[in-house]
Amino acid sequence: MRNLPSLTPDEAPGKAGELLGDIVRRHGSAGEMVSTMAHSPALLQGYLELSRAMKRVKIARPLSEKVSLTLQEWIGCGTCMEAHIEAARAAGLSESDIALARQGTSTDVREAALMGFALRVLSEPSALTPDDVAALRGHGWSDRVIAEIVGLVSLNMLTGSFNLVAGIQPEVKP
């Protein structure tokens, strides 16, 4: 059940109307989540800027999708899960890769370490220690990637939580 309705550019308050209108002009539509985020100009602008910024991360797209699948499995957003499964397939991941990512792991030990770290950033950030960061470095991950994982976790938490609060659910397919 929807808790928040989506908005058109004319219905959205202030800057959100401009942002939403621009997206619709460029892409033809804005999607349910973005149209619903338009209730808050600050949230919509923040989401769009973070989303754009995270497209420039050093983390390869297939691994980024594995991390997102790990996170969304924990968060429980079906809409995000569907979107990341589709994106994972488009990035060349196999069904086995997708299933493992949803379990928070990978056949690649380095990737599994990064995915596990991301899940801990989401679920228990106060329990992380300098040794946890050092362990990632020991797997060959750079400080840049370690920092970017926090951004990826934040983006997934934002989208998943928003969709759950707004009541945005995957479309029921016949």
Q: How many helices (H) and strands (E) does the chain have?
A: 9, 0
The residue among 77, 67, 71, 42 whose CA lies nearest residue 161 is 77
Q: Are residues 90 and 28 in the same domain?
A: no
Domain limits for position 160: 61-166
Q: Are residues 72 and 154 in the same domain?
A: yes
For the segment 5-55, what is each residue's pLDDT rounded down to a tens digit?
Answer: 999 999 999 999 999 999 999 999 999 999 999 999 999 999 999 999 999
Does 41 map to a domain? yes
Q: Are residues 69 and 99 in the same domain?
A: yes
Does 23 map to a domain? yes
For the segment 161-173, what is each residue's pLDDT rounded down to a tens digit?
Answer: 999 999 999 877 6
Q: Are residues 42 and 79 in the same domain?
A: no
Q: What is the pTM of this model?
A: 0.94
d(CA 170, CA 147) in angstroms, rounded, equals 31
State which H helix or E strand residue 35 sits in: helix 32-37
